[in-house]
Amino acid sequence: MKYYIYVQGKKIPVSQEVYQGYWQLVNHEKYLDRKDRKFGVLPFSLFEVDGVLLENVVQDTSVNVEKLTETKILIEQLNKALQTLSAKEFEIIVALYFKEYTIREVAIQQNISPTSLFRMRNAILENLRKFFDK
């Protein structure tokens, strides 16, 4: 037995698997349409405002996918950059930026002067900047 489906008005011969898959999808779509009509569900594309489809007017601004992706990439780069630091440098950065200690508090913990710690912090940040500029 030969199987055909119509595509843009043209009769196309297909295998039995393609034929059955096609009609399974068509029948499922018709089933969903019947359920929508039964329960009074209207597609969003039916709503217009001054001749403009509502789906084109209403934009989802709750999530900025581009910004989210960019932030995720930057976080991954930061993690790689932090892995290049020595243990002492990493400890200083964690204390200053993640635990939010002051330079004076970290200097006391590390037994160094605040001025030395300030210079070390600037050198570490410069190395991290170079990592991001690559």
DSSP code string of 17-51: HHHHHHHHHHHHHHHHHHHHHHHT---GGG-EETT
pLDDT at 7: 87
Q: Which amino acid is at 58?
A: V
Q: Which amino acid is at 64?
A: N
- The CATH fold of domain 65-133: Arc Repressor Mutant, subunit A (1.10.10)
pLDDT at 56: 65
Neighbours of 93 (CB within 10 A): 20
Q: What does each of the 134 residues of the chain score in pLDDT, given as a tens digit?
A: 889 988 888 898 999 999 999 999 999 999 998 998 888 887 766 677 667 766 666 666 677 778 889 999 989 998 899 999 999 999 999 999 999 999 999 999 999 999 999 999 999 999 999 888 87
- Tokens coding 58: 């209403």
CA proximity to 22, closest of 7, 35, 8: 7
Residue at token pair 């690559």 = 134
pLDDT at 125: 94
Instruction: Report how far residue 33's alpha carbon sits from residue 29's, in angstroms, rounded to the nearest whole number.
Output: 6
